Structure 1
Amino acid sequence: MTTYKIQAVFIDRDGTIGGSDQVVYPGVFKLFSSAKQSIDKLKDAGVSIYSFTNQPGISRGEASINDFRDELLSFGFDKVYICPHQHEDRCSCRKPSPALLAQAAQDNDLDLKNCAVIGDRWTDMIAAKRAGCTKVLVKTGSGEKDLAKYLNNQFFDEWLEAAPDHIAEDLLDAVKWLLK
């Protein structure tokens, strides 16, 4: 359980706040039923909320960075941090790199040890671990599948590197745990 005042929560997009384990582009993306309530709970607690997401479709011209940014801001996020690159580009900002978290810390004067990451993929957990954030894996999106892989010792080293501090059923469960 956390024993500090959370400065900020970084939340992944696809599979965490809505959509599925696949990218769903702005305009057709749908929030999970409790996502708005979850965001409101964090805001009511005075916690800054940032989206951090890999969106390789931007570099392929399938959507614009502004489409994603505008959509995420409309959901209630304070700021948005997006890696627009494809995996094979080997950029420095794509999760599991903690670069987006470090940039947000610099932009917003955050101590990442007082921040949390909520996501549905192991790449979210690794980025959080490398940045020193609390790690919360949700079972929505790819979460259940990723969790099963690691619990079955398919990727034991990665489990040791980035085992979640909490495993939540969904975003609302994750937020409730963080705010306890």
Structure 2
Amino acid sequence: MKAIFLDRDGTLGGSDQIEYPGDFGLYPGVQEKLQEVQVEGIKLYSFTNQPGIAEGRATIESFREELYGFGMDGVYVCPHLPVDHCNCRKPKAGMIELACRDHELLPSECCVIGDRLKDMTAAGQAGCMSILVQTGAGKASLKEWKQLDKRPTIDFIAEDIIHALNWLTQGK
């Protein structure tokens, strides 16, 4: 595993709602766990949909500053509204594809961790492994996933991000 793409809201911290920089906090122990993973040589990239930027509620710079402050190696933010039909907004894989180009990564060497099915769909479209966490919207997403006829692939279901990172780094 060379890189992990991490969703922000409901995965790294916060809740199942968007919390803007200044109001958002990591779940307990996450900062330390992220550092442990990086010591092992795995790069961490945040990828997040933030439509509030298009609505003027925050700036892309405020999200980048916050996420780099948490120790991310790279930050990818989709600032668009769903009606914009951009290529970067999850469930599309545009942010992952851009990060792979930027950092010369193969998607097969990467994993996505998120709390929503759109994170899992983006992972599948890009060709990455996927882990669904049960924090944020994760439990509701898992329930929805079980009822779908055509399901995005989920390689592992974790209690939270620390459980997901432990599973990835300790040989599954």
Q: Which runs of 5+ in 1 are unaligned?
A: 1-5
Candidates 76, 81, 85, aligned match of 2:71 = 76
The aligned amino acid for 2:29 is: S
**In angstroms, what is the RMSD of aligned CA positions?**
0.7
Q: Any idea what SS the aligned residue of 1:156 has?
A: coil
How far apart, in 2, do the equivalents of 1:146 and 1:106 lie? Answer: 29
* 1:37–1:172 CA contact under 8 A, matched in 2: no
Instruction: Report the equivalent of 1:31.
Output: 26
TM-score (norm 1): 0.93
Instruction: Report the equivalent of 1:7.
Output: 2
Instruction: Report the equivalent of 1:96.
Output: 91
TM-score (norm 2): 0.97
Instruction: Report the equivalent of 1:123.
Output: 118
Q: Any idea what SS the aligned residue of 2:27 has?
A: coil
Instruction: Report the equivalent of 2:167.
Output: 177
Quote the offset at 1:88 in angstroms.
Answer: 1.2
Equivalenced residues, count: 170
**What is the identity percentage for the equivalent residue pairs of Structure 1 and Structure 2?**
46
Q: Which runs of 5+ in 2 are unaligned?
A: none
Quote the offset at 1:38 in angstroms.
Answer: 2.2
Moved over 3 A (4+): none
How far apart, in 2, do the equivalents of 1:86 and 1:106 lie? Answer: 24
* 1:108-144 deviations in Å (ceiling 9; x for gaps): 0001101000000000000000111010000000000
Candidates 128, 133, 136, aligned match of 1:138 = 133
Instruction: Report the equivalent of 1:3.
Output: none
The aligned amino acid for 2:74 is: K
Work out whether 1:164 is the aligned partner of 2:154.
yes
